[in-house]
Chains A and B, each alone.
Chain A
Amino acid sequence: MSELRLSSIETRGVPGKKRYAMVIDLRRCIGCDGCMTACKAEYDVPLGVWRTWVPYRVVGTYPNVRKQFLPRLCNHCDDPPCVRSCPVGATYKVEDGGFVLQHYDRCIGCKACMASCPYNARFLLPKDRSYTEITGVVDKCTFCHHRVIQGMSPACVQTCIGRARIFGDLNDPNSEVARLVATLPTQVLRPEEGTKPNVFYIGADRNLTEHGRAVYNPPEVLERDRQAFDNHKA
């Protein structure tokens, strides 16, 4: 039974248990940002916060310049610091599937989970939303739990133009994610944190995956631009 477990027990290789993972093939990402707006629509995500986002950077010297995108979302870690740090058990890991989810009616909005997440994947919902009534609590990517349990892919995977996002059960050796992780070199973000992420990248530049903490700030690029450009406000 998939009763909720307030535990960080990892589901790697546990027979009969699913361990959902996402593989993001950066060779195929065109930076269209389709995933960002698909996610906003799926959850009525308010302005200013993101469940998934696509930072980019320009590398090289003219004329040898390239653009790199790094789609980001919750890593649904096997050892999630957010679950450990939540004082009221509002954040939990679903054993069958590995989803790291949020219990909105338990959350007290203390932000301990936000502070503990090395990926800045969590945010506090503002008090105004277009039509959803859940506000003032911490929210995050759910791996589209409500779709996946109906046999559907997450919304970002569904709309991905480059088919860069692949989703499936890592415990199933026949799944596409299992095959990709087994046969291609993959990277995870901030492996040194020991979080055991379930989002794997193919072709990620080391400059993107092994940077200091600041690079993972959600509005990384936006923030820098905002600061630079705010200097001229009238």
Chain B
Amino acid sequence: MLKMNRRTFIKVSGGTAAAVATAPSLLKAMEVELGGKDFSPVTYGERQAIPITCHVCNIQDGAIAFVENGRIVKLEGNPEHVSTRGRLCAKGNAGMWYSYDPDRILYPLKRVGARGEGKWKRITWDEALTEVAQKLDAAIKEDPNSIMLKFGRQRSGGALDRFMHTLGSATIVNHTSVCESSKKIGMEPTWGPDIETPDFANAKYILNFGSNIMEAAYFHNPYSQRIVEGTAENKAKLVTFDVRLSNTAGRSDEWIPVFPGTDGAVALAIGHVILRDDLQDSDFINTWTNVKVEELKTHYQQFTPEWASKLSGVPVETIERIAREFATTKPATTYTYRGPAKHLYGSYNEKACMMLPIMTGNIEVRGGYCMPRGMGWPQPQPEPPKPAKPSYLAHPDEYPLAGHKVSHLTPFWIAEGKQKINVYFSYQDNAVYTNPGAQAVWGKLYRDEKLIPFYVSMSPFMGEETALADIILPDCPYLERWEPESMPNSLWPWLGIRQPVIKPLGEARENRVMLRDIIHKLDADGSRGMKQYWNFKDGEDHMRHHFDNVPGLKEVGGLDFLKKHGVWPIYGKLDPATGKIVDKTGREIKADYGLHKKEIPEADMAGATIEANGAIMKNGKAVGVQRNGKNYVGFPTGNRLINVRVDQWAEYGFNPMPTFKRIPWHETMKDDEMIMTTYKINVHKQSRTAAVKWLAEIMHSNPVWMNTLTGNKIGVKTGDLVRVESAVGHLVTKAYVFEGIHPKVVAIPTAFGHWEYGRLATLKLKEKGGAFGAQDDPDLKNVWWTDNGVHPNAIIPVVADPIGGSQGWYDTVVKVTKAGPNDKYGDVQGNWEKHLEAFKETLRYAYTGDLHRKMHPEMAAWGGPESVKHKPAGGH
């Protein structure tokens, strides 16, 4: 039992008294240090600390891993990290269970039964690499683009692109269209960056459209810290528009329920009130945007609060009041995440929201809506050339403005024969679970050996997708690999590193190493010209190529500095008295505001010409904008201005000005129909945390939320079984009836209802652990829950935003009824044919489709799809 007896305890206490006596007494300070060290509660010995960057989700928090007896026992925030300031969320604190998952795959596997039958044979790395190389060889000879790589979350710092370009394939498909792509496309043509960095800590008013920042979203941890500072210390008001009471809505000063997809209309009406009452920042609009105030006023006249109120259900008085509050409280910022963007016309919604900080001049000011601050790193040389031939799947013709691709339509396009696939790689992706249609669509694709003749999954876990693979290459979870990092998750830019805390377990190899090994197998003697791009000893060596020549970092030690500190630069010290990063004088470090107002150095102006509108032109490109005799760099757009009018959209028959389009099938909803939305919760991410025991313990099932009014109407109370039916399928789950959701909405969170992903995720705990070489966890005998939830994606049809290409996750019309006698808890059925119909239907809204013109009567003068056919597809 216990190793420590009474005598040793007293000894420890004695030592303590001395330590305490020397501790300085700081006025008003939490007189204990906030991190950086950890001790064993049993032996009181200090645990070894290794700085890393967290990668349970995609926020990239600075972290420290603590090791005891060779085992990662604790994770905490890195107190030297400017953005996350020593703190981690529930997910980050539990990340070691990726490494110690008892169902982890620790050696290469080859399928021996039928696809998805679950029969595997252990093979050696050499056998695996030889087979993969043979298939690649044949595919390259036929058409390099027939090699496809689809990734979910990837932080390889360029390794995946390098791999595909080495093979000569352009068929690289991401996952962004099921994530936030229409938010990005709503923003990029307008002001350049794909996301905002609000200065929440110094704001006085925060208007949140559909982001659940206190639980998930970009950037949960660092932004939540600043929102709390803003609301608790700076007395900022936080107003949240959402269809349901998320933790964020529940902790806001005001939660304003809104009908799904109508945030954009509300934002336009708020803009209407601001412009009508002359509360805008005319100076900012006239100086920094490509429209004038009068033009904007005229355009916004149509968006009355009465109009928006009818669509959204938000009272006219509320819209008027919020508009006045937002415009007259300075500084103020908006924030959005997937709420407005994940709809048929999500890009329009996002832009409508973004117009509010623009028209009130809250851009790039302290406490306002700022541009992201990121940092880059050079790529190791030489680099493979980009493939000559474009790939349809990477840049589909129907979505020329969707610069972040339209990955969720991939199965239909492959089934249609748009791109032949010979070899399919997946990396940290689980489309069978995460995409609309789920098993009904992606499951069908992967099971079809004609469509996907050879499927290689690079994964440490037997997820829904990996379970359908032909070869599984055991990848490393984040605590066992090298990766370069930077994320604009605060107002201070940083570079960071992810380094192995322990050696890869079993035969696992980190991704960049296994990619190198595949290439070396293909081109053993270098005669094919591939090997030269993969010339590194190991992960660390690859990082040296990235980091050892970054100016500034190089001087302090390059990679060695990052290995020691985890992040660069170090802006200051974490002050236990305030929880903030302070400089040597004890004051909080200051952020740099007004990036667009940086002046171009005189030397760089040589050879530049100034156009009538102030654009500073150099080599045929706008490099800045002249205002009041000063040469400013402006915004990172083509004309260095904020483009309220996006001319590129008009070329394809879309409205270039801020606008709103109601979702047509929401207009014709019947009385007993509702909208089903999905959401993320505080302790899980989309698909990869169901096997993390501490998170699964906190939440493991996902009853469908409905309002008390709805429950009363259909005779359902909490715990009752209900049947949720959409146009493409149905599911049976339990109801959670309460006050915190719009009466016309039902909501089901994702992360639950796994049918693969190991014994804990599927609650098949009677099976033995360690089937693929991992060590079992005795604690799993203590699992006390018996319900692992129901996954809704199979009944969600595809919807693609014709501009941004994003999936309309929150557009699904459903009927909810009390379950019948034949309905069983956990039933989920989706129909491929019906999903295919939904795919064809959504293509009708693309600029090439027949509904496009009907949806845009204001663009009657547009020349039709033929007028832009000559343009190359793909944003960037």
B232 CB contact (under 8 Å) in A25, A32, A38, A40: A25
The interface size of chain B toward A, counting residues with CB under 8 Å, comes to: 107
* A32 to B212 Cα, complex, angstroms: 11
Q: With a CB–CB cut-off of 8 A, which chain B residues contact A150?
A: 16, 19, 37, 39
| 8 Å CB interface, A64-88 against B | 65-67
Q: Which of A66, A128, A174 has most chain B Cβ within 10 Å?
A: A66
Q: A153 an interface residue at 8 Å Cβ cutoff? A: yes
Q: Are B786 and A230 in contact (CB under 8 A)?
A: yes
Q: A37 an interface residue at 8 Å Cβ cutoff? A: yes
Q: A192 an interface residue at 8 Å Cβ cutoff? A: no
Q: Report the minimal beta-carbon distance from A225 to chain B, rounded to whole angstroms.
A: 8
Q: With a CB–CB cut-off of 8 A, which chain A residues contact B76?
A: 38, 155, 158-159
Q: Are A130 and B777 in contact (CB under 8 A)?
A: yes
Q: With a CB–CB cut-off of 8 A, which chain A residues contact B665?
A: none
* A38 to B695 Cα, complex, angstroms: 11
A-B contact count (CB 8 A): 274
Q: B349 an interface residue at 8 Å Cβ cutoff? A: no
Q: Are A60 and B825 in contact (CB under 8 A)?
A: no
B94 CB contact (under 8 Å) in A41, A129, A157, A177: A41
Q: B495 an interface residue at 8 Å Cβ cutoff? A: no
Q: Are A149 and B221 in contact (CB under 8 A)?
A: no
- What 1/0 mask marks residues of chain A from 18 to 57 whose CB sits below 8 Å from any chain B CB? 1000000101101111101110111110111000000000
Q: Are B33 and A31 in contact (CB under 8 A)?
A: no
Q: Which residue of A has the minimal Cβ distance to B42?
A: A132
Q: With a CB–CB cut-off of 8 A, which chain B residues contact A18?
A: 20
Q: Are B739 and A61 in contact (CB under 8 A)?
A: yes
A128 CB contact (under 8 Å) in B34, B703, B778, B825: B778
Q: Are B738 and A105 in contact (CB under 8 A)?
A: no
Q: With a CB–CB cut-off of 8 A, which chain A residues contact B231?
A: 27
* A234 to B3 Cα, complex, angstroms: 44
Q: With a CB–CB cut-off of 8 A, which chain B residues contact A28?
A: 228, 232
Q: A58 an interface residue at 8 Å Cβ cutoff? A: yes
Q: Are B32 and A37 in contact (CB under 8 A)?
A: no
Q: B734 an interface residue at 8 Å Cβ cutoff? A: yes
The interface size of chain A toward B, counting residues with CB under 8 Å, comes to: 87
Q: With a CB–CB cut-off of 8 A, which chain B residues contact A38?
A: 74, 76, 88, 93
* A200 to B107 Cα, complex, angstroms: 51
A30 CB contact (under 8 Å) in B20, B247, B693, B697: B247
Q: Are B88 and A159 in contact (CB under 8 A)?
A: yes
Q: With a CB–CB cut-off of 8 A, which chain B residues contact A96?
A: 17
Q: With a CB–CB cut-off of 8 A, which chain B residues contact A169?
A: 31
Q: Which residue of B has the minimal Cβ distance to A162?
A: B228
| 8 Å CB interface, B206-225 against A | 214-215, 220-221, 224-225
Q: B146 an interface residue at 8 Å Cβ cutoff? A: no
Q: B807 an interface residue at 8 Å Cβ cutoff? A: no
Q: Are B224 and A176 in contact (CB under 8 A)?
A: no
* A137 to B2 Cα, complex, angstroms: 10
- What 1/0 mask marks residues of chain B from 222 to 264 whose CB sits below 8 Å from any chain A CB? 0011011001100000000000010111110001110000000
Q: Report the minimal beta-carbon distance from A49 to chain B, rounded to whole angstroms.
A: 8
Q: Are A65 and B740 in contact (CB under 8 A)?
A: yes
Q: With a CB–CB cut-off of 8 A, which chain A residues contact B2?
A: 104-105, 133-134
Q: Are A62 and B90 in contact (CB under 8 A)?
A: no
Q: Are A34 and B31 in contact (CB under 8 A)?
A: no
Q: Are A163 and B228 in contact (CB under 8 A)?
A: yes
* A18 to B25 Cα, complex, angstroms: 13
Q: Are B31 and A179 in contact (CB under 8 A)?
A: no
Q: Report the minimal beta-carbon distance from A47 to chain B, rounded to whole angstroms.
A: 4
Q: B595 an interface residue at 8 Å Cβ cutoff? A: no
Q: Report the minimal beta-carbon distance from B72 to chain A, rounded to whole angstroms.
A: 9
Q: Are A128 and B31 in contact (CB under 8 A)?
A: no
Q: Which residue of B has the minimal Cβ distance to A148?
A: B32
Q: A63 an interface residue at 8 Å Cβ cutoff? A: yes
* A49 to B766 Cα, complex, angstroms: 21
* A36 to B215 Cα, complex, angstroms: 15
Q: B1 an interface residue at 8 Å Cβ cutoff? A: yes
B16 CB contact (under 8 Å) in A2, A103, A130, A142: A2
B825 CB contact (under 8 Å) in A40, A67, A142, A232: A232
Q: B577 an interface residue at 8 Å Cβ cutoff? A: yes
* A160 to B84 Cα, complex, angstroms: 11
Q: Which residue of A has the minimal Cβ distance to B777?
A: A130
| 8 Å CB interface, A192-234 against B | 225-226, 228-234
* A4 to B20 Cα, complex, angstroms: 17
| Contact A41/B96 with A153-B33, A228-B718 known, Cβ cut-off 8 Å | yes
B785 CB contact (under 8 Å) in A41, A158, A160, A226: A226
* A230 to B41 Cα, complex, angstroms: 36
Q: Are A149 and B34 in contact (CB under 8 A)?
A: no
Q: Which of A133, A147, A177, A229 has most chain B Cβ within 10 Å?
A: A229
Q: Are A31 and B697 in contact (CB under 8 A)?
A: no
Q: B120 an interface residue at 8 Å Cβ cutoff? A: no
| 8 Å CB interface, B776-825 against A | 777-787, 824-825
Q: Are A159 and B33 in contact (CB under 8 A)?
A: no
| Stretch binding the partner chain, chosen from B6-14, B135-143, B461-469 | B6-14
B42 CB contact (under 8 Å) in A134, A174, A228: A134
Q: B709 an interface residue at 8 Å Cβ cutoff? A: yes
Q: With a CB–CB cut-off of 8 A, which chain B residues contact A37?
A: 90-91, 93-94, 683, 694-695, 698
Q: Which residue of B has the minimal Cβ distance to A158?
A: B35
* A128 to B224 Cα, complex, angstroms: 36
* A74 to B39 Cα, complex, angstroms: 21
Q: A168 an interface residue at 8 Å Cβ cutoff? A: yes
| Contact A63/B255 with A146-B40, A174-B27 known, Cβ cut-off 8 Å | yes
Q: Which residue of A has the minimal Cβ distance to B94?
A: A37
Q: With a CB–CB cut-off of 8 A, which chain B residues contact A1?
A: 14, 17
* A34 to B76 Cα, complex, angstroms: 10
| Contact A149/B16 with A47-B784, A229-B719 known, Cβ cut-off 8 Å | yes
Q: With a CB–CB cut-off of 8 A, which chain A residues contact B114?
A: none
Q: Report the minimal beta-carbon distance from A111 to chain B, rounded to whole angstroms.
A: 17
Q: B73 an interface residue at 8 Å Cβ cutoff? A: yes
Q: With a CB–CB cut-off of 8 A, which chain B residues contact A174?
A: 25-29
Q: Report the minimal beta-carbon distance from B342 to chain A, rounded to whole angstroms.
A: 22
| 8 Å CB interface, B158-180 against A | none
* A177 to B32 Cα, complex, angstroms: 11
* A134 to B43 Cα, complex, angstroms: 12
Q: B707 an interface residue at 8 Å Cβ cutoff? A: yes
* A164 to B232 Cα, complex, angstroms: 10
* A34 to B19 Cα, complex, angstroms: 29
Q: With a CB–CB cut-off of 8 A, which chain B residues contact A175?
A: 29-31
Q: With a CB–CB cut-off of 8 A, which chain A residues contact B708?
A: 62
Q: A112 an interface residue at 8 Å Cβ cutoff? A: no
* A164 to B249 Cα, complex, angstroms: 18
Q: Report the minimal beta-carbon distance from B220 to chain A, rounded to whole angstroms.
A: 8
Q: With a CB–CB cut-off of 8 A, which chain A residues contact B721?
A: 232
| Contact A147/B39 with A32-B224, A158-B76, A168-B30 known, Cβ cut-off 8 Å | yes
User: Can you list 19 residue pairs at the A/B interface with Cβ under 8 Å?
Assistant: A34-B88, A38-B74, A62-B739, A66-B250, A67-B251, A136-B1, A147-B38, A151-B19, A153-B32, A153-B576, A155-B74, A159-B76, A159-B86, A163-B228, A164-B228, A169-B31, A176-B31, A225-B701, A228-B718
13 new A-B pairs (CB below 8 Å) besides A37-B694, A150-B39?
A32-B220, A34-B87, A41-B694, A47-B782, A48-B782, A48-B784, A61-B739, A65-B740, A67-B247, A96-B17, A153-B32, A161-B224, A176-B31
A residues in contact (CB < 8 Å) with B: 1-4, 18, 25, 27-28, 30-34, 36-38, 40-44, 46-48, 58, 60-63, 65-67, 94, 96, 103-105, 126, 128-137, 142, 144-153, 155, 157-164, 166-169, 172, 174-177, 179, 225-226, 228-234
The 6 closest A-B pairs by CB, nearest first: A67-B250, A228-B719, A149-B16, A37-B93, A47-B782, A33-B90
B residues in contact (CB < 8 Å) with A: 1-3, 5-6, 9-10, 12-17, 19-20, 23, 25-35, 37-42, 44, 71, 73-77, 86-94, 96, 100, 214-215, 220-221, 224-225, 227-228, 231-232, 245, 247-251, 255-257, 576-577, 579, 682-683, 693-695, 697-698, 701, 703, 707-709, 718-719, 721, 734, 738-741, 743, 777-787, 824-825
